[in-house]
Chains A and B, each alone.
Chain A
């Protein structure tokens, strides 16, 4: 066997498992993870971590609005009643698919109750 053939076989041996893994797994892309200010300063014990999540299914990219972001924002506030929310992390990601995908917005923060 020629050296070049051996290299080619080796290449396939390395990349085939990665290809198979790619085929069986669902792929995602994390676009950003933003952290807000911590205002007021408060230890984690002084409140509870609340979450706001929303997603949007898109086919072929045809979608006229991005209201899912506002929905996640509303969900976050709903989870904290009349408290203050500090240290908010905002993660935007997309689960990729076949000519379609799902955009996701996840917001988490520390909810500090009024009393």
Chain B
């Protein structure tokens, strides 16, 4: 076996592992809060999930990667990233995003999922899906829509199951 073939064989699994890890992202849980659960058996509980997200960018990571290039351009980009970080001071949860309004329509999304408003067992989650440099800043809400057997048979309104919010998942 020549050196090149050996190198390729040895490196390939590692390469694909890195690709796999890089694309799946690390999940960071910031907050989770639960509400009351109305599990009385007079109605059926239909689960739903709402996910709203925005792309976060880490100026620090950009700077570190740019500096790793060890060129003049890389250093300049690294310095620029440091300056940007100065303009992003304040308490942070996850990476900074460029729109704070991505979760503002949450209440409308809830009524869209359950128009009767018979919502229970709510779990509000704030999490980050972290990738190199960027991240998905996610607000996720899961819960149950209470439906009578009659409305289930008639198929009135309420959408069920998994779906993303207006902004979609990152």
Q: Do chains A and B touch in the complex (CB under 8 A)?
A: yes
Q: How many residues of chain A are within 8 Å of chain B by beta carbon?
A: 53
When distances are taken between beta carbons in the complex, the residues of chain A under 8 Å from B30 are 31-32
Q: Which of B60-84 contact A (CB under 8 A)?
A: 62, 65-66, 69-71, 73-74, 77, 80-81, 83-84
Q: Determine if B88 and A27 form an interchain contact, defined as CB atoms under 8 angstroms apart.
A: yes
When distances are taken between beta carbons in the complex, the residues of chain A under 8 Å from B119 are 38, 41, 87
CB contact under 8 A between A33 and B126, given known A25-B98, A104-B100: yes
Q: Determine if A96 and B122 form an interchain contact, defined as CB atoms under 8 angstroms apart.
A: no
Q: Determine if A15 and B77 form an interchain contact, defined as CB atoms under 8 angstroms apart.
A: yes
Q: Determine if B107 and A109 form an interchain contact, defined as CB atoms under 8 angstroms apart.
A: yes
For residue B90, CB closer than 8 A to chain A, the reply is yes
Q: Which of A7-47 contact B (CB under 8 A)?
A: 8-9, 11-12, 15-16, 18-19, 21-23, 25-39, 41-44, 46
Q: Determine if B133 and A15 form an interchain contact, defined as CB atoms under 8 angstroms apart.
A: yes
Q: Determine if B96 and A29 form an interchain contact, defined as CB atoms under 8 angstroms apart.
A: yes
Q: Determine if A94 and B103 form an interchain contact, defined as CB atoms under 8 angstroms apart.
A: no
Which of under 10, 10 to 19, 20 to 34, or 35 or more describes the interface residues of B? 35 or more
For residue B99, CB closer than 8 A to chain A, the reply is yes
For residue A106, CB closer than 8 A to chain B, the reply is yes
When distances are taken between beta carbons in the complex, the residues of chain B under 8 Å from A62 are none
Of B5-13, B14-22, B108-116, the one contacting chain A is: B108-116
Q: Determine if A91 and B71 form an interchain contact, defined as CB atoms under 8 angstroms apart.
A: no
CB contact under 8 A between A30 and B91, given known A38-B117, A41-B119, A91-B103: no
Closest residue of chain B to A91, judged by CB? B103
Query: Contact check: which of A28, A37, A98 meets B87 at CB < 8 Å?
Result: A98
For residue A110, CB closer than 8 A to chain B, the reply is yes
When distances are taken between beta carbons in the complex, the residues of chain B under 8 Å from A58 are 90
Q: Determine if A35 and B86 form an interchain contact, defined as CB atoms under 8 angstroms apart.
A: no
For residue A93, CB closer than 8 A to chain B, the reply is yes
Q: Determine if B100 and A93 form an interchain contact, defined as CB atoms under 8 angstroms apart.
A: yes
Q: Determine if B31 and A32 form an interchain contact, defined as CB atoms under 8 angstroms apart.
A: yes
When distances are taken between beta carbons in the complex, the residues of chain B under 8 Å from A86 are 117
Q: 4 nearest interchain CB pairs?
A: A101-B90, A27-B96, A28-B100, A8-B69
Some 10 contacts from A to B, beta carbons below 8 A apart, are A29-B90, A29-B92, A29-B94, A30-B54, A30-B100, A33-B103, A87-B110, A96-B89, A98-B87, A108-B104
User: Footprint of B on A, CB under 8 Å?
Assistant: 5, 8-9, 11-12, 15-16, 18-19, 21-23, 25-39, 41-44, 46, 49, 58, 86-87, 89, 91, 93-101, 103-104, 106, 108-110
